[in-house]
Amino acid sequence: MKKYRAYAKVNVFLKITGKREEYHEIVSRFMRVDDLYDVLSFVSKKNVQAKANEFKILGDFDCTTTQNSIYKAYKALKEATKNQALEELMRTYAVSVEKHIPAYAGLGGGSSDAATYLKMCNEVLHLGLSLNELAQIGLRVGADVPFFIYGYNSANVSGIGEVVEAFDEEPLVFDICTPAVKISTPKVYQAYRRDFYAPIDGFQAEALKKKSSLEIFNTMHANEANDLFAPALQEYEELAQYYQDGYYFSGSGSSFFKLKEEKYNG
């Protein structure tokens, strides 16, 4: 069966612009990481240990099947389409995931897996769903999923993740360091709202959206670029020992990243 790549992302910047009920509204530059990805495929259950009626995911995950973003994507797609062929597909096939993107890392691995699964089902079952329709379904799974549905190299993401606007720039190459620190995104956002809440206004957001990622790296420090860096350091003090000057913080962590020096400083 065909194999599909689920790419990682980094947040070049991530700023809070306000609240929407229990959610935080953001403006962020997402950039795809072309050399870090999971590999997904459908595998016949005849070739693996799986019951005919169970949703089976093969891969190195430390969560239950029902907690897995791929299963949540299946449930959201099933609810949206009421497609019987989808149920039959998952009775016959398991989802194999070769995991390379670390979990709890701010690199979007779970969201990318979910988005890739939705696109796989759309293709294999000839569902005919547009990227916009898939993105709406993906948003039910997680705020970052729409970005991965669209497949842009670089994009400005706003709202609670549902507004994804392609940004025209060359993909960059990064060195990424992911400490073995399991970060809870809700915990970091709660700390931000409680102790650091200072949303930027619309003028500041629009100005950021117009800057290239290289401009961001040349003018902003890690603390300035990501509003979640300070609350993450507060809640997970061990992060500080891994931070090095010149690195940036992705999402709610725990990954740090910087431009590959030999490529951009040569």
Domain residue spans of the chain:
4-166, 174-264
Three-state DSSP class for residue 62: coil
- Residue 58 has a pLDDT of 93
104 is in an annotated binding site: yes
Three-state DSSP class for residue 250: coil
- Residue 47 has a pLDDT of 79
Q: How far apart are CA 120 and CA 177, in angstroms?
A: 30
71 is in an annotated binding site: no
154 is in an annotated binding site: no
Considering the candidates 9, 72, 119, 211, report the single residue annotated as catalytic.
9
138 is in an annotated binding site: no
- Examine the residue annotation and report whether 209 is marked as an active-site residue of this protein: no
103 is in an annotated binding site: yes
Residues 170, 31: contact at Cβ < 8 Å?
Answer: no
Residue in the block written with tokens 């239950």: 64
Q: How far apart are CA 86 and CA 250, in angstroms?
A: 34
Superfamily of domain 174-264: GHMP kinase, C-terminal domain (3.30.70.890)
Strand order in the sheet with 248-249: 174-177, 256-259, 248-249
**Would you call 205 exposed, middle or buried from its count of C-beta atoms within 10 A (0-12, 13-18, 19+)?**
buried
Among positive and negative, which fits the CA dihedral 230, 234, 236, 237? positive
pTM (2 decimals)? Answer: 0.94
- Residue 253 has a pLDDT of 84
The listed CATH number (3.30.230.10, 3.40.50.2000, 3.40.190.10, 1.20.1050.10) that belongs to domain 4-166: 3.30.230.10
- Residue 260 has a pLDDT of 87
CA angle 178/60/148 to nearest 5° reads 65
246 is in an annotated binding site: no
- Examine the residue annotation and report whether 72 is marked as an active-site residue of this protein: no
Among positive and negative, which fits the CA dihedral 184, 187, 193, 194? negative
Considering the candidates 113, 144, 211, 227, report the single residue annotated as catalytic.
144
106 is in an annotated binding site: yes
202 is in an annotated binding site: no
**Residue 88: C-alpha distances to residues 64, 84, 125, 149 (Å):** 22, 6, 10, 23
Tokens of 227: 């509003």
- Residue 53 has a pLDDT of 80
- Mean pLDDT, each 10-residue run in order, the chain (266 residues): 95 95 92 97 86 86 91 97 94 95 93 98 97 96 96 96 95 94 93 95 96 96 96 95 94 93 60
Cα atoms found within 13 Å of the Cα of residue 114, Cβ hemisphere only: 30
Q: Identity (one letter) of the amino acid at 200?
A: I
108 is in an annotated binding site: yes
